[in-house]
Structure 1
């Protein structure tokens, strides 16, 4: 049984006349009568009683009528939902974000997403450099706010800006008393290092920065996330060169100083698996560009 047959049946029931229903449906009366007879034949029972004042539903017709209207309403709701998803105005979107970007980016971006995508269910997943490749590739997140962007064939990247690199030091450190810190001051110092992966654009930013200034520092610890690096800085285990956005929401006792005569920075981008792109991902990227750039 198709939806068209149910639609014809409901129209005749509402009009109580095949002729009037045919006018509403912009079709000839004989084909509509044929459709009603086919439906009755398939059900094996009469759906209407013909009377002088029009067509009345039989008991079987009454039973079908309410459910037919529900079925048509559900189908229309399904069609509307499909159109909305195709237009990127409805659905479910899983957004990955690097922890370092959380405090600086999400408070600006999320209200815009709520305002401009009111019919979309948003879910947020924290990512790190060691994990974001698998999360994006396995589509456990639909789109990620990445720093640095993921370099991998099949992954689409749209730039959203850059974050300058700064030095995180304990508040009691002698370097904390300086307004800017020359990179040469890090010679021989202990550094808390973030992960380096060949799939991350700008992954060697810190290494390149130190090399440009002829500085050799020792790696005291290598951690997966910026907040782990800041915890060790606070504990006095060393310094860390981190993106400036890490200062937002950082623990008390850690201060951040610009690097003197140095413009090293990390790119920030929206990344997603190209063959898993949806209209909703495209709408998210547009909103992110307009909000963050």
Structure 2
């Protein structure tokens, strides 16, 4: 049914006059009468009859009126909902995050997003080295906080911060007694490495740090997540070079030490599909940049 005719019908029913309804609708009376007759022809029954107080609804008119106002209200709500989503005031945003950022970022980011996106439903999904790219590409998450950034032709990224690289060692290790560790002290020591072999770029931050200092660390294990790396470090399987924020989620028995002669960092990036048109991502970026600047 034409919603425009339905709106005309409701106006006539409420005003009980074609003339008054025409004034309310800011249109001439004859065209309004024509539209009401067309609606009656479409339904195959009269909707109005002349009464002492003006236009009265017939039984069929009463039945239509009881639902017509609701239908128009729902249509108006739908239009407003669409506009709100397009403007970034309503909708759903699925946020992916790497575990290494969970303890440092989420306690501040979640309340910040609740304040800046009060009408938006938020979902949070933990990502790993192997799941972050496919979940973004499949639209299972709309935007992801990654460390390091995802480099893919279909993914857009924005660097929103950096983290200093630090050495994670067991508290019982002699290296834990140092306030800062010279990089050459790592020579020959086993490394718990991230990410997985097939995803490790030759120019990764850790590889660049070791290469610049001409230090070789044999790979003891390769893992996808920081918590796996920390578990193996605690078990005495090796050392791991991780972002400083990883110490917030470290179990007891592991200490983090800065490097004496290196200040290398790793980037924190927000990543999303290039073809995404969601206004929510812009608001997310502002909130994420504000939070990451404080860690």
In structure 2, list runs of 5 or more residues that go unmatched.
none
- Deviation, structure 1 residue 197: 6.7
Partner of 1:72: 72
- Aligned pair count reads 293
Residue in 1 that maps onto 2:251:
251
Deviation track 1:135-156 (CA, whole Å, cap 9, x = no partner) reads 1122111111011011111211
Q: Secondary structure at the match of 2:257?
A: strand
Deviation at 1:196, TM superposition (A): 5.3
State whether residues 161 and 267 of structure 1, in contact with CA within 8 Å, keep that contact through their aligned partners in structure 2: yes
Which residue is equivalent to 2:163? 163
Matching residue of 2:267: 267
Q: CA deviation at 1:80?
A: 0.8
Partner of 1:194: 194
For residues 246-281 of structure 1, give each alpha carbon's deviation from its aligned partner in whole angstroms, at most 9, with x where no partner exists: 011211111100011211111001101101231122
Runs of 4+ residues deviating >4 angstroms: 196-203
Distance in structure 2 (CA, Å) of the matches to 1:277 and 1:102? 26
C-alpha displacement at 1:171, in angstroms?
Answer: 0.9
Query: Residue 271 of structure 2 aligns to a residue in which SS?
Result: strand
Aligned partner of 1:179 in structure 2 is: 179
Match of 1:112 in 2: 112
Q: Please give the alpha-carbon distance, in whole angstroms, between the structure 1 residues aligned to 2:54 and 2:190.
A: 93
Q: TM-score, normalised by structure 2?
A: 0.95
In structure 2, the residue matched to 1:128 is 128
| Cα contact 2:148–2:269 (8 A) shared by 1 | yes
Kept in 2: contact 1:189–1:217 (CA 8 A): yes
| Residues 170 and 236 in structure 1, CA contact (< 8 A), matched pair in contact too | yes
Structure 2 CA distance for aligned equivalents of residues 33 and 45 of structure 1: 15
Unpaired runs of at least 5, structure 1 = none
Per the alignment, residue 89 of structure 1 pairs with 89
Q: CA RMSD in A?
A: 1.5
Shift of 1:290: 3.2
Task: Report the CA distance between 1:134 and its aligned residue.
Answer: 1.2
Rounded to whole Å, the distance in 2 between the matches of 1:216 and 1:158 is: 32
Q: 1:30 to 1:24 in 2, by over 3 A?
A: same
CA contact (8 A) 2:100 2:249 kept: no
- Match of 2:123, SS? strand
Q: TM-score, normalised by structure 1?
A: 0.96
Question: Is the CA contact 1:149–1:201 (under 8 Å) kept in the aligned structure 2?
Answer: no
Q: Is the 8 A contact 1:159 1:268 kept in 2?
A: yes
